[in-house]
Amino acid sequence: MPNRYLIANWKMNIPPEGIVTYLDAVKDANAVIAPPFVYLKDVAARFANISAQNCADQKAGAFTGEVSADMLRDCGARFVIIGHSERRTIYGEDDGLIARKLEMVIDAGLTPILCIGENEQQRERGHAVEFCSDQLCAAAIPQLANANEIVVAYEPIWAIGTGRNATGAMVAEIVGAIRDALERFWPDGLASRTSILYGGSVTPDNVDDLIADGRIDGFLVGGASLDSKRFLALAEAMKRLPAQP
């Protein structure tokens, strides 16, 4: 059975109320926090489940400015976000690079949070399902067989940071397609342990529509995760997810 996750992706921000005040407020939330690299240790000292937002596609060596998955584990990270659309679109990360990062994260014994999702044009042309399936196929590396757990985050690019979230019905359709693609392309048995999250303008106001279908395993939250009150409201909403079969 997939685990359920609520993940705060701070991106290149810190909560306006301050890291310590924020962490004190959310200390009892069942959640994962993904701060910028340099705050990982500080956050890990006060909060149990920590994720990095990125990692290198190499183990070690002459790669100025990069941070390896092993180093992130040493800083207390349990998860690493891979292939966020901001990495894909702004920094030109392609499926090949993301597959290598996935390998590094699995080799380090960490759980990857693999982000996929279509852009607006692909959705308008009716290609969203096909595009997301292709991204999962590109991530079907042999090392997946060694992974204890993988998290897939469906984050349509047009919904990220725009205030235009996907509807519950759109998310339900893609979650079904992701489950099919996982069964087809990924090692036997892994699909049933893979959590599927939604991300893209999730807020306490729209979360109930997103959980109604009951197939989503949680959320990757950017903007609304920077305010402890809004993030706690999302942690409460997670408790309203229907019981797993």
202 binds ligand PGA (CB under 6 A): yes
Nearer to ligand PGA, 187 or 223 (CB): 223
Q: Could you give the C-alpha distances from 64 to 6, 55, 60, 90, 91, in angstroms and in order?
A: 32, 13, 10, 19, 16
Rg for the chain, CA atoms, rounded? 17
Structure tokens that stand for 238 in this block: 């997670």
Q: Which residue in 53, 111, 135, 201 binds ligand PGA (CB under 6 A)?
A: 201
197 binds ligand PGA (CB under 6 A): no
Nearer to ligand PGA, 11 or 59 (CB): 11
Structure tokens that stand for 61 in this block: 């060596």
d(CA 133, CA 191): 13
Structure tokens that stand for 35 in this block: 């701060």
Size of the site for ligand PGA (CB under 6 A): 13
Four-CA torsion 29, 161, 138, 107, nearest 10 degrees: -40
160 binds ligand PGA (CB under 6 A): yes
135 binds ligand PGA (CB under 6 A): no
Return the residue matching tokens 């942690």: 235
155 binds ligand PGA (CB under 6 A): yes
Return the residue matching tokens 């392309």: 185
Nearer to ligand PGA, 2 or 117 (CB): 117
Q: Which residue in 15, 168, 200, 218 binds ligand PGA (CB under 6 A)?
A: 200
For the annotated catalytic residues, the residue numbers are 84, 155
175 binds ligand PGA (CB under 6 A): no
Site track for ligand PGA across 206-235, x = CB under 6 A: --------------xxxxx-----------
Count of beta carbons in the 10 Å neighbourhood of residue 56: 19
187 binds ligand PGA (CB under 6 A): no
- Bridge-based pairing of strands 195-199 and 218-221 is parallel
With contact defined as beta carbons under 8 Å apart, do 10 and 22 qualify? no
195 binds ligand PGA (CB under 6 A): no
- Where along the sequence are the contacts to ligand PGA (CB under 6 A)? 9, 155, 160-161, 199-202, 220-224
